[in-house]
Copies of this chain bind each other. A is one copy, B any other.
Amino acid sequence: MAENMAENTAPRRLDRRRERTRNALVYAAQRLLAERRTEVAIQEITDLADVGVGSFYNHFDSKEALFRTAAEEALEWWGTLMDRLTADLDDPAVAFAQSLRLTGRLHRRHPRLSRVLLSVGPELARSERGLAPRAHRDIRAAATAGRFRVDDPDLALAMTAGAVLALGALVHAQPDRDDASSADQVALGLLRQFGVPEAEALRICSLELPDLARLDPIDGPYG
């Protein structure tokens, strides 16, 4: 207990300084990932982060390690956001659709985060972080509850990931496109695909969404 107190109070400012440097590197890496410019010299990364080159090696072994971390933190952040926004929904079909509709709106509201997620590609479906585990859980629960007519949840998850990625790419490629209605269309299409009756699918996809302002991050680089 005393130890714990000591640990909590002792080198706090030093830890925070260390954290600041690390975060600056991760944030710079996310900017580069979003631009798909990962073939850069380490010095370019540290310049972007405004830290010395040497500091890089205090935190990461290689560019690849940094970019991996940068993508994982974005996925984590996204997953947490979805949890926060769908925590009170107990119908898995609704939770699934809400997450998709919210994610579709993320592309314009947080273009950088969106582009980092898109840079992950279809492995999105296999990641332990982000939307994948949540969508997988919702799909299985909905199948068990008889809400979805799905007998291959892995395939259903893959289709979901593909739809999310394709929608994101489309929204970025067509700046005039209405992101909200496109997202709702995509959610509707997936529900149809999963055998939800048309009327019910339409109902689910026109439910009210949580306040969009709550899409904004609690803190962190996207705030």
Contacts and interface: CB of A to CB of B under 8 A. Distances in A.
Contacts of A154: 170, 174
B163 A159 contact: yes
Interface stretch (A26-34, A75-83, A181-189): A181-189
A155 B182 contact: yes
Number of copies of this chain that the complex holds: 2
A186 B170 contact: no
A162 B166 contact: yes
Contact of A123 (B169, B194, B195): B169
A122 to B, nearest CB: 4
Interface residues of A, number: 33
A123 to B, nearest CB: 7
A117 to B, nearest CB: 12
27 contacts: A122-B168, A122-B169, A122-B170, A123-B169, A125-B166, A125-B170, A126-B169, A126-B173, A152-B182, A155-B185, A155-B186, A158-B166, A158-B167, A158-B169, A158-B170, A159-B166, A159-B167, A159-B189, A161-B162, A162-B163, A162-B166, A163-B163, A165-B165, A165-B166, A189-B194, A192-B192, A193-B193
Given A158-B166, A162-B164, 19 more contacts: A39-B39, A121-B121, A121-B169, A122-B166, A122-B168, A122-B169, A125-B166, A152-B182, A152-B185, A155-B185, A158-B170, A159-B163, A159-B167, A162-B163, A162-B165, A163-B163, A165-B165, A189-B193, A192-B193
